[in-house]
Chains A and B, each alone.
Chain A
Amino acid sequence: MDPGDLFDNHDYVAPARYVRPYTITAGRTRSKVDLPMEATLRRRPGGFHPDLNPAALRVLATCDARSVAEVSALVSMPIGVVRVLLGDLVEQGIVHVEATITESSSKDERIDLIERTLRGLRTY
């Protein structure tokens, strides 16, 4: 079912506080793309995107070299909404997500990242 159908049904009255934030994502509350709060986004070079809605354009304009959490704070949208919008931009190849520790990270990858963090903190 298209999640947008929910909002075309006139018998259905959703509470305003729910509808407002997720209207801009056509009712979707999840993204297929894994976007941890600390993940850094990079805008890929080039291209105008006249097809994007205003909320997505704001997210796109804000996201380069920033984390998912920072984008959420700077555009004043809840983290879940920003994830859906960013997920779309990633799927469309407009935005790229940099590395974080994930469930699939190997022990060596984790150790490497934690050691780098430790070195950085000691000289911070």
Chain B
Amino acid sequence: MDYAPTSATRRAASTKIVVAGGFGVGKTTLVGSVSEIVPLRTEALVTNESEGVDDLDAVPTKATTTVAMDFGRLTLAEDLVLYLFGTPGQRRFWFMWDDLCLGAIGAIVLVDTNRLDDSFSPLDYFESKGLPFIVAVNEFDGTQRYSLEEVANALALPPHVPIISVDARDRASVKQALVRVTEYALERLIQPLSVNAN
């Protein structure tokens, strides 16, 4: 008949894309530009600079602090919701990223060309985990504009990693970035990189 066999098994689902980058690079602004809700904040408990209490059984003697994460929601279809999680880029937050990145479609590394160093840590992380990511250069007004090629060189990006510019305040621009990372994730899944094929 004229219904696809998959439609019967199709289930309501939710998925996520991670937005990483240094302090003040525009993560929350980007999430807020496309989210249907005002970005919400959730917290995870941290025992020290590198470990999460949630990852340990009981470490009651260690002092705890919290790490905050902002996120937004996009309802893409009646049976599909996409969440965007904005997360700090510093290495000491990596414990949280394992949790965050598990099951993610991919990641956007948001870059401010005045503070390129802040992006090295998320780039290293996503590369080591094999999570598909793109680099999006947030074009702050008055920032000296470098070509995307110059930025890619400065970051030593592998040639297959897409790099785009984005205006984190602009819905259409952010939507484009989300489409790009999702397309790229699909490409990677259909045609995996032959990493060290020996």
B80 lies within 8 A of A116 (CB): yes
Contact B56 A29 (CB under 8 A): yes
Chain B residues in 8 Å Cβ range of A6: 58, 60
Shortest CB-to-CB span from B73 to chain A, Å, is: 7
Whether, in the assembled complex, B126 has its beta carbon less than 8 Å from a beta carbon of chain A, the answer is no
| Cβ-defined contact, A29 with B53, below 8 A | yes
B40 touches A73 (CB 8 A): yes
Is B64 a contact partner of A17 (Cβ separation < 8 A)?
yes
Closest approach, in angstroms, between the C-beta of A52 and any C-beta of chain B? 22
Binary flags per residue of A90-122, CB closer than 8 Å to B gives 1, else 0: 000000001111110101001111111111111
The CA of A66 and the CA of B40, in the complex, are separated in Å by 12
Asked if B83 is at the interface (CB within 8 A of a chain A CB), the reply is: yes
Q: Which of the listed residues B14, B85, B104 has the most CB atoms from chain A within 10 Å of its own CB?
A: B14
B14 and A67 within 8 A (CB): yes
Asked if B8 lies at the interface with its beta carbon under 8 angstroms from chain A, I say: no
Whether the Cβ atoms of B54 and A36 lie closer than 8 Å is no
- Within 8 Å CB of B178, what residues of A? 121
Pick the interface stretch among B136-144, B145-153, B184-192: B184-192
Which residues of A are found within 8 Å of B11, using beta-carbon distances? Answer: 98-99
For residue B116, CB closer than 8 A to chain A, the reply is no
Binds A, one of B21-29, B42-50, B117-125, B162-170: B42-50
A-B contact pairs, 15 of them (CB 8 A): A6-B58, A15-B61, A19-B60, A29-B53, A30-B54, A37-B42, A37-B83, A72-B42, A78-B42, A80-B45, A80-B52, A99-B11, A101-B15, A120-B82, A121-B182
Ranked nearest first, the 9 interchain pairs of A and B with the lowest CB-CB distance are: A120-B76, A80-B54, A73-B40, A101-B103, A38-B16, A99-B13, A72-B42, A14-B60, A38-B83
